[in-house]
Amino acid sequence: MPFNRPLIIFVLALVVALFALGRRSDQNDQTVSRSRLVMGTVVEITAIGSDSDRVAAAVVEAFVEMERIERLMSPHLAQSDVARLSAATGPLEVTPETAEVVALGLQVALASGGAFDLTLGRLKALWDVEGEQPQIPEAAGIGRALLGIGPRALQLQGQQVEKADPLLAVDLGGIAKGYAIDRALALLQRSGVGSASINAGGDLRLLGDRQGRPWRIGIQHPRKAGQLLATLELTDAAVVTSGDYERFFEQDGVRYHHLFDPRTGYPAKLCQSVTLVAPNAMLADALATAVFVLGPQQGLALLEQFPGAEALVVAADGSRQVSPGLESRLQWR
Ligand code: ADP
Ligand code: MG
């Protein structure tokens, strides 16, 4: 059979052209990285794309979106959904965004038997762990702050939220940051960004991979400042860590941190840190807090109800437990 030389030459030329195009577009990829203070944390957004102006504009929009979510869910702004809810004496219509967060929060609250709780606003204010001069509150005050709380203390119907007790104060601090990260990531994706990471003080979400390779994420050692406990290799995932080592005070040699056990009104005692990997950051955020309160054993059992959720737990005694799906992606340091 005679060779069809023009055809072969055409095919070869096409292969070479496509190869060159592929390489060129890789080389043209620009990485845009920006930081801003949002929700009391330094947020760093890194996005990769071929048109750097477009990517940079998308990154700015992503920050603006996170700031918008902060204004809806901050307890300190009188007009926020959360502040209005805490002040409400009857049913209240909230934004679709807040309704979405409350819906998932209530799901995790119920699944965790109340270890995760959206009604700890009074308890958080009482402890004021991040305040100027925090101290252990009196037992009677803690008792009062816990009155009426629980996974059934809020009812959600559509966009309407109703508190079982008008005195309850709502706190979305254990879930709102994750939601803001997810919203920002969706915006980047809509702007055509295929590869990005959003890091809000160690709570992060990854879009795609990093030039054909997984992202490599360092997990902070809960007792050795500046040292890594492990690294994780991940694509398209959220990684959120709840720990007792960043927001805390010490009194008489005991550490009091900001993750409360709703059963006692005191900081939860069973973990040093929980790193939660899940398909989105809102779920990872809520589950990290829930697993921290429940402890390694019950916490890892809870994750079986949430497909795609995996965890690395450092227990109070420093021992480590990893859920089965995470082992192959984890390297100890
Ligand atoms: P960080 O905000 O430091 O990243 P988390 O996501 O774990 O940490 O959230 C901590 C916040 O969650 C606390 O500051 C408080 O607002 C809220 N919180 C504390 N205990 C609970 C709990 N048991 N259930 C739900 N939210 C909680
Ligand atoms: Mg959380």
218-240 pLDDT, tens digit each: 999 999 999 999 999 999 999 99
Task: Report the residue among 117, 172, 289, 298 best suited for mutation to probe ligand 1: largest number of ligand atoms under 8 A from its CB.
Answer: 289
- The Å distance, Cα 319 to ligand 1 centre, comes to 23
Task: Report the residue among 116, 203, 239, 258 best suited for mutation to probe ligand 1: largest number of ligand atoms under 8 A from its CB.
Answer: 258
Chain-centroid distance of CA 49 in Å reads 24
- The Å distance, Cα 176 to ligand 2 centre, comes to 8
Task: Indicate the DSSP class of residue 117.
Answer: -
pLDDT value of residue 21: 44
Q: Whose CA is nearest to atom 9 of ligand 1?
A: 174
Q: Tell me the two tokens of residue 232.
A: 């994780």
Strands annotated E in 211-265: 215-220, 228-234, 238-243, 248-251, 254-257
- The Å distance, Cα 192 to ligand 1 centre, comes to 33
In the block, residue with structure tokens 């918008």: 68
Q: From 108, 95, 41, 39, select the one nearest 283 (Cα to Cα).
A: 108
Residues whose Cβ atom is located within 5 A of ion ligand 2: 174, 285, 288-289
pLDDT value of residue 20: 43
- For ligand 1, is residue 296 a contact (CB within 6 Å)? no
pTM of the model: 0.92
pLDDT value of residue 7: 56
- The Å distance, Cα 215 to ligand 2 centre, comes to 22
pLDDT value of residue 12: 55
Q: Whose CA is nearest to atom 19 of ligand 1?
A: 259
- For ligand 1, is residue 182 a contact (CB within 6 Å)? no
Taken as a whole, the chain contains a residue count of 333
Residues in Cβ contact with 31 at an 8 Å cutoff, skipping those fewer than 6 apart: 46, 47, 48
Interval 49-108: pLDDT, tens:
989 999 999 999 999 999 999 999 999 999 999 999 999 999 999 999 999 999 999 999
- For ligand 1, is residue 121 a contact (CB within 6 Å)? no
Q: Whose CA is nearest to atom 1 of ligand 1?
A: 242
Q: Which residues of the chain have pLDDT under 70?
A: 1-27
- For ligand 1, is residue 310 a contact (CB within 6 Å)? no
pLDDT value of residue 211: 85
- The Å distance, Cα 2 to ligand 2 centre, comes to 69
pLDDT value of residue 29: 87
- Distance from C-alpha of 276 to C-alpha of 300, rounded to nearest angstrom: 10
